[in-house]
């Protein structure tokens, strides 16, 4: 005689209610903590420092910089009393206002007190010389960003599968999916392969004021420290004499290849090195603070570096002598007291001047 198997009645209504309430409560706590901890990593470089903020239409603010998950605060050095007699101590920007109104943030090293100068130098060193864990974390985060859509799809598929077998989860499937995507979004961040390759490299950043009727563009030079969806952080650093400022990325070409580029580096007779990275835009000077050293190996591979000729202070523009041959010389306006008047190899200048006067 067959014996009927006992049927699993499943969780009762009270259990469903309390478990659902617990999921909502835990979800709210995790989301709140993540939102509170979340800060734009570019803005965090400036947190606690005295900064200068450049806004649209030329407006400027100064003060101590505070960063929050929903915006920033600039605390004035001294309270400000407006024409109506109101005493103001700080200025607040919500995130949407930062994106719409703020062009640039500056932290001037020479204007910082000694303790903050030291902290900044430590920050720069840690950024450009990351330890193993930091390199691993950045690599893992970039990997997650690359596969973010796949991870989101996997979370959705897992939740759907459990919804079929667990009635408790089926009531909160959307909440759990949202929580997973929130966790993924907080761990991951903007990933841009075009920018990632230049981390720690010299770059030129162009900033345009969308409200400026002349469409003026301001250029800032420095080393790419990091980037997010809203901001790009660039550091200026000092260089000691003989220090390598940057490796140069480029391609080798030879006479007859159909390339005509006077800004290529000369390697040997008929062999040239065309710079293809940001170092290409470093300006000429007749009294430079850096030089370019290039070499060609027997197997045809080339390498080039930019090396400091003397100490280069923070904020000082890096330059080198283009030393064009006489046949490619062009007028020079570098502004140096030692300006030769031509962008030309110094050894070829006497002969060029003699031809010009003859």
Bridge partners (DSSP) listed for residue 54: 60, 104
| Spatial separation of the C-alpha atoms in residues 32 and 35, rounded to whole Å | 5
Q: What is the mean pLDDT of the chain?
A: 79
Has residue 294 got a pLDDT over 70?
Answer: yes
If one counts every other C-beta atom within 10 angstroms of the C-beta of residue 325, the result is: 12
Q: What is the largest CA-CA distance in the chain?
A: 125
Tell me the pLDDT tens digit for each residue of 234-275: 988 888 888 888 888 888 888 878 776 667 888 888 888 888
CATH number for the domain whose boundaries are 244-357: 2.170.270.10
> In the chain, where are the structural domains located?
13-38+133-187, 193-235, 244-357
| Spatial separation of the C-alpha atoms in residues 275 and 265, rounded to whole Å | 8
State how beta strands 302-308 and 244-247 pair.
Answer: antiparallel
| Spatial separation of the C-alpha atoms in residues 221 and 323, rounded to whole Å | 23
Has residue 321 got a pLDDT over 90?
Answer: yes
Half-sphere exposure of 73 (CA within 13 A, CB side): 11
C-beta separation of 349 from 342 below 8 A = yes
| Spatial separation of the C-alpha atoms in residues 21 and 62, rounded to whole Å | 47
Half-sphere exposure of 52 (CA within 13 A, CB side): 10
Q: What is the pTM of this model?
A: 0.61
| Spatial separation of the C-alpha atoms in residues 57 and 111, rounded to whole Å | 25
What pLDDT is attached to residue 349?
Answer: 83
If one counts every other C-beta atom within 10 angstroms of the C-beta of residue 81, the result is: 10
At residue 84 the predicted structure's pLDDT band, cuts being 50, 70 and 90, is: confident
| Spatial separation of the C-alpha atoms in residues 204 and 193, rounded to whole Å | 17
**Residue scoring higher pLDDT (222 or 75):** 75
Q: Closest Cα partner for 330 from 287, 288, 284? A: 284
The two three-digit tokens of residue 119, written as one number? 């902290």
Q: Closest Cα partner for 59 from 101, 89, 109, 106? A: 101
3-class DSSP assignment, residue 35: helix
Half-sphere exposure of 351 (CA within 13 A, CB side): 9
What is the 8-class DSSP label of residue 317? Answer: P
What pLDDT is attached to residue 229?
Answer: 82
List the Cα angle 304/322/313 in 5-degree steps.
75
Has residue 337 got a pLDDT over 70?
Answer: yes
Tell me the pLDDT tens digit for each residue of 93-141: 998 888 888 888 999 888 888 899 899 988 888 888 888 888 888 888 7
Tell me the pLDDT tens digit for each residue of 10-45: 555 567 667 667 777 777 777 677 667 778 889 999
Which is it for the CA torsion 327, 330, 334, 336, positive or negative?
A: positive
H/E stretch holding 217 reads strand 217-227
Give φ, ψ of 335 to 5 degrees.
85, 0
């Amino acid at each position: 005689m067959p014996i009927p198997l006992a049927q699993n009645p499943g969780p009762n209504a009270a259990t469903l209610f309390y478990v659902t309430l617990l999921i909502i409560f835990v979800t709210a706590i995790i989301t709140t903590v993540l939102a509170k901890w979340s800060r734009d990593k570019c803005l965090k470089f400036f947190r606690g420092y005295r900064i200068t903020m450049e806004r649209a239409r030329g407006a400027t603010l100064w003060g101590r910089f505070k960063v929050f998950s929903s915006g920033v605060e600039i605390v004035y050095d001294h309270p400000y009393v407006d024409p109506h007699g109101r005493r103001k101590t700080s200025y607040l920007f919500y995130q949407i206002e930062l994106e719409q109104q703020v062009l640039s943030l500056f932290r001037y090293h020479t204007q910082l007190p000694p303790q903050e100068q030291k902290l900044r130098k430590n920050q720069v060193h840690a950024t450009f010389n990351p330890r193993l864990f930091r390199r691993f974390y950045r690599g893992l985060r970039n990997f997650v960003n690359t596969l973010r859509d796949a991870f989101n799809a996997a979370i959705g598929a897992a939740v759907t599968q459990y919804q079929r077998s667990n009635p408790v989860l089926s009531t909160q499937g959307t909440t759990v999916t949202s929580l997973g995507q929130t966790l993924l979004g907080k761990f991951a961040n903007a990933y841009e392969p075009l920018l990632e390759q230049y981390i720690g490299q010299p770059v030129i950043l162009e900033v345009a004021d969308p409200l400026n009727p002349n469409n003026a563009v301001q250029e800032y030079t420095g080393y790419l420290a990091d980037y997010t969806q809203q901001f790009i952080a660039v550091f200026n650093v000092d260089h000691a004499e003989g220090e390598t400022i940057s490796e140069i990325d480029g391609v080798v070409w030879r006479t007859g290849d159909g390339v005509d580029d006077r800004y290529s580096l000369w390697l040997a007779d008929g062999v040239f090195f065309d710079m293809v990275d940001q170092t290409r835009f470093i300006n000429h000077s007749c009294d430079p603070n850096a030089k370019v050293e290039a070499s060609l190996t027997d197997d045809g591979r080339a390498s080039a570096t930019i090396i400091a000729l003397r100490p280069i202070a923070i904020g000082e523009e890096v330059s080198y002598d283009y030393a064009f041959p006489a046949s490619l010389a062009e007028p020079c306006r570098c502004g140096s007291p030692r300006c030769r008047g031509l962008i030309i190899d110094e050894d070829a200048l006497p002969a060029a001047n003699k031809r010009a006067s003859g």
